[in-house]
Amino acid sequence: MAEAVKVAVRERTVLGKKTQTLRRQGILPGVVFGHGGSLPVETDAHAFELGYRRWGSTTLLSLEGIAGDGTPALIAGVSRDPLTGRIVHVDFERVSLTERTHAEVPLRFLGTAGALKVGGVLVHAMEHVRVEALPQDIPHSIDVDLTKLEQIDDALYVRDLVVDGTTVRLLDRPDALIVKAVHQRVEEVAPTPAAATAEGAVPAEGAAPAEGAAAAPAEGAAAAAKGAAAPAAAAPAVKGEKKK
């Protein structure tokens, strides 16, 4: 069971676009939500940036300064400045230490695949897996042993991951591909569909879009087909593919 990391926060009174003033003072605006409503907060920007590099989004935090002895929380998302990469907003989600929650846990690839020595290359289909666990039991990462890939066409799947089944449940399909050794001429292996990995579950007020958020779909896709030849009268209409 992981021990919660203490993070000093305080209630925030500066809201909206005025939060730019806070950022210039080295203060990171944020919000705490879930289990009792939403509360604007702020914390030291430099200290949080350094800590986040170690914690990621799976470390249980104890938010100190807003409610008694500390509020257990996870980082639900961060937003970054698109030019500097600096974190400009953080979303904390309150959690209960007695209720299981879902999280995305990064995979840590270890060792060297023997297939590389016989002319193979590795194609990664997943970088994270979804898990269900108590907040204090969420692993910081899950190891993937690449030494098991000895020959071309060897592969590792979600079912091959080693986790403590008494505390952590993997939510992805057991047959979902994680990594495969292929001949160099094979350019692509279609990745297994997975949950979005955007670092911003909650919109950040007056801040850049959440890191990793998907781009908006392009408009006028149907108009692009107007120049194509008309189909035969008896042929059924073909529905345009919907983009994410």
Q: What is the CA radius of gyration of the chain?
A: 22
What was the pLDDT predicted at 226? 41
For the chain, where do the domains classified as CATH 2.40.240.10 start and end?
A: 5-96
Q: What are phi and psi of 71, to 5 degrees?
A: -110, 115
Q: Band of the pLDDT at 244, cuts 50, 70, 90?
A: very low
Strands, E, within 101-168: which ranges? Answer: 101-110, 120-124, 128-133, 142-145, 155-157
For the chain, where do the domains classified as CATH 2.170.120.20 start and end?
A: 102-183
* Structure confidence by residue, pLDDT tens digits, 105-132: 999 999 999 999 999 999 999 999 999 9
Which tokens hold the place of 24? 């210039």
Q: From the CB of residue 171, how many other CB atoms can be counted at a distance below 10 Å?
A: 14
| CB-facing half-sphere around the CA of 152: CA atoms within 13 A | 10
* Structure confidence by residue, pLDDT tens digits, 78-107: 999 999 999 999 999 999 999 999 999 999
Fold of 5-96: Ribosomal Protein L25; Chain P (2.40.240)
The architecture (CATH level 2) of 102-183 comes to Beta Complex (2.170)
221 pLDDT above the threshold of 80: no
> In the chain, where does DSSP find H-type helix?
19-24, 45-55
Q: Band of the pLDDT at 232, cuts 50, 70, 90?
A: very low
Q: How far apart are CA 72 and CA 88, in angstroms?
A: 22
* Structure confidence by residue, pLDDT tens digits, 128-154: 999 999 999 999 999 999 999 999 999
